Structure 1
Amino acid sequence: MTEVSSLTGRLLVATPALADPNFDRAVVLLLDHDEKGSLGVVLNRPTPVGVGDVLDGWAELAGEPGVVFQGGPVSLDSALGVAVIPGDSTERAPSPSSRLRSSRGDPIGWRRVHGAIGLVDLEAPPELLAAALGSLRIFAGYSGWGPGQLEDELADGAWYVVESEPGDVSSPVPENLWRAVLRRQRSELAMIATYPDDPSLN
C-alpha cells in the first residue's frame, strides 16, 4: 500500500466543482489524516445555536460569533472543541500555571494537532484552560473520510489543499472564510476567490 503523506493541520477548500451540498464552499481543517482515513471540521458553517445553550461552562471562552459550528455531516450529536494556544507553548518560560501543563509543555486538557492548533477535552473544567486559550470554537459533528476516500476526491479535483493559519479557526466572519483563504494564496487560486456564487448569473 502506498504511504499516505499526512495533510493534518492543512485546509481543504472546496472547489466550485464540488457538488456535495454538505461541502458547498466549505473550508475544512484536517485534524487527522493517515492511511486509516481522515477527520476534519468545517470552519465556516455557523449554526443559530449558542455555545452557552449546549456547553454553558465553555461559552465565555468561545470566540465571536459565540455559536456552535456544524463541523460536518457525521455524528451531529457529538461536540468537538478546537482551540489555538498563542505562541509556541513548548518554549515558554515556567509560569505559575506550569503545574497545569503536560510533560510536553502543553496545557492539560488540550492536545496539539498542528502548530498552535489543538483539540480541547470538553470534559475538562473550562477554568483549567481559560488562561492559556487564545480562541475556541465548538463544533457539532465532523467530516470524515475512509481509507483512500479523500485521496480519490483530491484526484477528482474536489478540493484545494492549502496551509492553515491559526486565525482561520476563529475567523469572526466565517461566511467570508472561503474567499479569504483563496485570496491569500500566491497562485492562480487567488483568482478563484472571485468565482460567483451562481456561475449561471455571470
Structure 2
Amino acid sequence: MTRSLFSLLVLLFVLWSATAYGLRPAPGTLLVAGESMPDPRFRQTVILLLRHDEGGTLGLVLNRPSRLALGEAFPRLELFAQKTEPLWLGGPVSPGTAFVLVDDDALPAGGVRVVDGVRMTGVRTLVGWIGQGREPARYRVYAGHAGWAPGQLAGELKRGDWQVRPATRELVFADPAELWRRLTKEPVPVLAANRLCSGKVPVAATEF
C-alpha cells in the first residue's frame, strides 16, 4: 500500500469516526439532554462540563434558574441584599456549594477560564469585586453541580441520553427558556476541536 493511499484511508477513518460519534466530552464542552432522557432531573437540560477525567465528570446545568433571587439565597451577604438576579440550579450534587461563571470581558482579574470568554470563580471573589466597585457586567451564580462516577457518563452517551456540543460564551449566557430546544434543532457538529480535551479545569467553588 502506498503512503498516500494509507494517509487517505486514515483521513477517511477520522472523518467517519467524527461523523459517527461527534465531539467527545471534555472540559469546555456541552452535554445536551436527548429527547428521551430517562432521568427527570436532567430532562431538557444543557450542561457545561468543567471536569472530565479518570476520576469522573463534573458540570453545571446552564438552563435552570431558580425562583430565588441572589439576595434571598445569600441573606448574610449585605452586598447581595438588593440583587434580584436569580440563583441558578447547577445540579443536584452538593446544593450548598456555589460556583460563579463570569463574562471574561467584564472580569476584573482572576478566575479560571472554562470557555473562550468565560471564567469561573467563587462567591467570595465576586463579593470582593462588588465591594471594590468592580462588579462584572454579566455573571451567574450556580448552586450545586451535576456529577458522574468514572465510566458513568460513557454509558449514558452510548445509550443516547446526551449529545456533546461545543460551548461558546454566547451559549453559556443564552436565554435558558430557548437554549435546549435551540441546540437540539442544530445539526451535530463534526470535526469541531476539543480545545480543552486534556487535563481538567481547576474547580473553584464556595460554600454558602
- Map 1:75-86 to 2 at 5 A: 75-86=94-105
Q: Distance in 1 between matches of 2:101 and 2:116?
A: 13
Partner residue, 2:63: 44
Deviations 1:95-140 (A, max 9, x none): xxxxx7xxxxxx12x1112322221121120337874845211111
Q: Answer whether contact 2:165 2:188 (CA < 8 A) is retained.
A: no
Deviations 1:43-82 (A, max 9, x none): 111110001222453588x8xx810111111111221111
Q: Answer whether contact 2:29 2:48 (CA < 8 A) is retained.
A: yes
Task: Kindly indicate whether structure 1 or structure 2 has the higher relative contact order, using CA contacts under 8 Å at least 6 residues apart.
Answer: 2
Could you tell me which amino acid in structure 1 is paired with residue 94 of structure 2? S
Q: Distance in 2 between matches of 1:116 and 1:132?
A: 17
Alignment RMSD (CA, Å): 2.6
Residues 122 and 149 of structure 1: is their aligned pair in 2 closer, same or farther, counting only changes over 3 Å? same
Q: What residue ranges of structure 1 are gaps of 5+ in the alignment?
A: 90-99, 101-106, 188-202
Identity %: 32
Partner residue, 1:120: 121
Q: Distance in 1 between matches of 2:41 and 2:140?
A: 19
Q: Distance in 1 between matches of 2:119 and 2:185?
A: 25
The two structures have a TM-score, normalised by structure 2, of 0.68
Tell me which of 143, 150, 155 is aligned to 1:140: 143
1:23, CA displacement in angstroms?
0.3
Partner residue, 1:198: none
Partner residue, 1:150: 153
1:11, CA displacement in angstroms?
0.6
1:14, CA displacement in angstroms?
0.3
1:169, CA displacement in angstroms?
2.2
Q: Answer whether contact 1:58 1:126 (CA < 8 A) is retained.
A: no
Q: Answer whether contact 1:29 1:164 (CA < 8 A) is retained.
A: yes
The reply on whether 1:26 has 2:69 as its aligned counterpart is: no
Q: What residue ranges of structure 2 are gaps of 5+ in the alignment?
A: 1-23, 190-208
Q: Answer whether contact 2:46 2:180 (CA < 8 A) is retained.
A: yes
The two structures have a TM-score, normalised by structure 1, of 0.70
Q: How many residues align?
A: 161
Report which of the two structures shows the higher radius of gyration computed on alpha carbons: 2
Q: Answer whether contact 2:96 2:143 (CA < 8 A) is retained.
A: yes
Tell me which of 176, 179, 185 is aligned to 2:178: 176
